[in-house]
């Protein structure tokens, strides 16, 4: 997965985990065109609502390879504590179990 940072640097990632809070789909504009296309194909769109509907038990986007972990989008689909990190231990257990 490729990311372009605000300062123009390019990053290549095998895994990306966002647990910062704020706007849940903040990262979508950072993805390159092929990563956005893959994400849109896996979710049926690149917006927060479409992403939330596809979050699996391991808190990653289902049907997306490589995995993209987005606990802040888990919402009530996986449990109310994931979006605000109030259950950080369970969050890390699920992410690590998915690896």
Q: What is the pLDDT of residues 22-69, one digit of tens each?
A: 677 888 888 899 999 999 999 988 888 888 889 888 888 999 988 888
Query: Assign residue 61 a region: left if phi > 0, alpha if psi is -120 to 50, beta otherwise?
Result: beta
Domain boundary assignment for the chain: 2-98
Q: What is the pTM of this model?
A: 0.64
At 91 the pLDDT is 76
Is the pLDDT score of 86 beyond 80?
no
- pLDDT higher than threshold 70 for residue 15: yes
**Average pLDDT value over all residues in the chain:** 81
């Amino acid at each position: 997965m490729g990311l372009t940072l605000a300062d123009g640097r390019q990053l290549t990632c095998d895994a990306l985990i966002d647990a910062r809070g704020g706007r849940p789909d903040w990262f979508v504009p950072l993805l390159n065109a092929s990563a956005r296309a893959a994400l849109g194909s896996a979710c049926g769109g690149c917006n927060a609502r479409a992403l939330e509907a596809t979050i699996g038990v391991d808190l990653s986007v289902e049907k997306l390879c490589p995995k993209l972990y987005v606990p802040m989008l888990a919402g009530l689909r996986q449990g109310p504590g994931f979006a605000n990190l109030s259950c950080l231990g369970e969050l890390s257990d699920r992410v690590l179990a998915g690896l």
